[in-house]
Structure 1
Amino acid sequence: MPRRPTPIALAAVLLTAALAACSATPTPAAAPAPPSKPPAATTPAPASAGSAPSETFAVGVRQLRLNRGGDRPLPVTIWYPASGDAGKAPKRGATAANGRFPVVVFSHGLTGRPDDYAALLTPWTAAGFVVAAPAFPHTSRGTDNNALDVLNQPADVSYVLDQVLALDTKADDPLRGRLATDRVAAAGHSAGGVTTIGLFGVNRDKRLDAGLVFAGTGIGVGTAFAGTAAPQLFVHGQADEVVKYAAGKAVYDAVPWPKAMLSLPKGDHGRGLLGNGAALRVITDTSVDFLRWTLYGDEKAKARIPEGATRGGIATLDDHL
């Protein structure tokens, strides 16, 4: 008689199936779930009341070579607010702008690379955030694309945060004195969304004040959100052919903290979600205001979210922030 699969083994099979089809032929989207009820506790935990920078920054970029445990190479791309003229392409090695900037760590999807998301991440940087994006050892492009290794990535992200935040006090480092180490968020797309969800559950990183999940699912990491309330923004295309909309919505419904879900009726798993001009502008503006609120304590930014998220009829917003 064959042995019954263990819950862990079953989750592993489901995770592989869910994430291994990143380039699969699109299939019809699942019907959207009904709006969720407001969470029992809606007291947010943003940074102390204040305002985010009103200026737009130039963007600098650098690489950090890390390795967790000696066998998990983690090259990290860091985009940071820089001195100079805003609106130009990121400049390698540019001088960091004056100020202390919150940190956002971003996790890519299966077969992805940090640079794939530059159109989203550089506007975050220009708005006043340092963005650190590792390339994972077994799920980035050019590796063995082992989807199961996603389960090891929350620990990778926490390690990356250790090293990046330490730059604030590292002698002669270009980011010395430029990092707001007490204001940190995690974000990720697809497999990186799974990674991000894991960071707020059994692998909770207590330093995280907020999370942004793009086309994510709880398969493999569960939905046992734990610890201090950390507002969450979910973004999901209702025509997602890889991670069905209903799967992302189920995770969103399980969040016990302040939360919002930006739903794109015509959005797929990535091309429309992060590649379409009009949709990307809505996603960028909404996510920037979410970060301004959660990491700078900017209440005016929070107030702008509902209008900006629904501008042009491209997306709808389930708002319980």
Structure 2
Amino acid sequence: MGVQRLVAALMTALLAGCGTATAAVEGPAPPAQHAPARLHPVGVRTLTIDPTGPRPLPVTLWYPTEAGRVAPGRFPVVVYSHGLRSLPGLHAGLTTRWAAAGFVVAAPTYPRTNLRARHFTRADVRNQPADGWRLIRHLVRLDARTGDPLAGHLDVGRVAAAGHSAGGFTTAGMFTSGRSARLRSGIVIAGGGLAGAFAGPAAPLLFVHGTADPVVPLAVGRAAYQRATDPKAFLSVLGQGHGEYLTPGRPGFDQVLATTTDFLRWTLYDDPDAARRIRADAARPGVTALDDRLPD
């Protein structure tokens, strides 16, 4: 089956419904630390959640370092979801740069949609939002685990979800009613909405989409944007397809990186200067354009 037909079938299945992925609402998160003023070297680590269970979940973690170890401080978390027949490492051009800017990026390898899945099934995307929440719960425990190098460095009260293609649908599916207050913002790249998405308390959402996307049409991303509540923004990558702009050096990459990084700094570090930069980050005539309902 071709990629376009495969994704079209995926969207039909996902819009029909998906499993519930909710969690208890916690109290307010403590005040955020200041966003780092400089880029950090990046470390990488892998682990597997529930390795003997029915849905083992390998996870790649990228995190800021200093002098060969985790950098001092607590860093907000970004859960990054890959698309169909992909892997976390194929998105490292973007995710490692987020980590360098002061985030811990946790990227699961979904059991039935990754590039090496033994039993690939696109319909399993509807189960992936629950996997994302399972990862968040694991990171909460990891942050409190005595002796773990990341213990005390994960700001698990400040989490964003992001993802590309089917991972964008997965991201949307994490924004359901009754969700944990830990999840503060989302970035949907070349994706769309799931049944039940964009419900519950409003959270800032950023959509990124190539205007010539042949796999997930621009209209699908725009429809999801219209369903989402404010504050929200839609970054169009002009003339681009399904994700070339996620590769360093390709047209639009610099604007996507700057816009998404400042969006994360604003929503996870409460950085007002980053919020004010978002429109300028996205302003590249002939390359990108931004529609937004963001605060002035």
TM-score category, normalised to shorter length: 0.7 to 0.9
SS of equivalent to 2:275: helix
Show the counterpart of 2:252: 279
Sort the Cα spacing of 1:316 and 1:269 in 2 relative to 1 into closer, same or farther, 3 A: same
Deviations 1:242-294 (A, max 9, x none): 10000110001111120001001211112245455341111011000000000
**Is 1:184–1:207's contact at 8 Å kept on the other side of the alignment?**
yes
Q: 2:9 aligns with which of 17, 24, 27?
A: 17
Aligned equivalents of 1:16, 1:244: Cα separation in 2 = 10
Matched, 1:74 2:57: yes
Task: Say whether the 8 Å CA contact 2:212–2:218 is kept in structure 1.
Answer: yes
In 1: Cα distance, 2:180 partner to 2:168 partner: 15
Of 253, 276, 293, the match for 2:226: 253
Change (3 A) 1:299 1:49: farther
Quick one: distance in 1 between partners of 2:290 and 2:211? Answer: 13
1:301 aligns with 2:274: yes
Identify if the C-alpha distance between structure 1 residues 47 and 265 changes in structure 2 by more than 3 Å, giving closer, same or farther.
farther
Deviates more, 1:192-201 or 1:202-211: 202-211
Question: Is the CA contact (8 Å cut-off) linking 2:61 and 2:104 kept in structure 1?
Answer: yes
Unaligned 5+ segments in structure 2 are 13-27
Structure 1: 5+ residue stretches without partners: 1-12, 21-44, 85-93
Of residues 80, 86, 91, the one that matches 1:112 is 86
Given the superposition, is the C-alpha separation of residues 60 and 16 from structure 1 closer, same or farther in structure 2, using an over 3 Å criterion? Answer: same
4+ long deviations beyond 6 Å: none
Using the aligned pairs only, state the percent identity.
Answer: 49
Name which of 123, 128, 135 aligns with 2:102: 128
Structure 2 residue 117 is the aligned partner of structure 1 residue 175: no
CA distance in 1, matches of 2:30, 2:178: 22
Tell me the amino acid that sits aligned with residue 200 of structure 1.
F
Per-residue deviation, residues 31-85 of structure 1 (Å, max 9, x unmatched): xxxxxxxxxxxxxx9985774211111100000111288111110000000014x
Higher relative contact order (CA 8 A, sep 6+): 1
Q: Is the 8 A contact 1:286 1:309 kept in 2?
A: yes
Match of 2:214 among 228, 231, 241: 241
Give me the whole-angstrom Cα distance separating, in 1, the residues matched to 2:231 and 2:198: 12
Q: TM-score, normalised by structure 2?
A: 0.86
- Cα 1:46–1:121, aligned 2, differ >3 Å: closer, same or farther? farther
**Could you tell me the TM-score, scaled by structure 1's length?**
0.80
Distance in 2 between residues matched to 1:187 and 1:116, nearest whole Å: 15
TM superposition shift of 1:96:
0.1
> Aligned in 2, Cα 1:48/1:319: closer, same or farther, shift over 3 Å?
farther
Structure 2 equivalent of residue 24 of structure 1 = none
CA contact (8 A) 1:121 1:131 kept: yes
Number of residue pairs aligned between Structure 1 and Structure 2: 274
- Written as runs of structure 1 = structure 2, the 5 A alignment for 1:176-255 is 176-201=151-176, 204-218=179-193, 221-222=194-195, 224-255=197-228
In 1, distance between residues paired with 2:54 and 2:220?
33
Kept after mapping to 1: 8 A contact 2:129/2:170 = yes
Do the aligned residues in 2 keep the contact of 1:19 with 1:147 (CA within 8 Å)? no
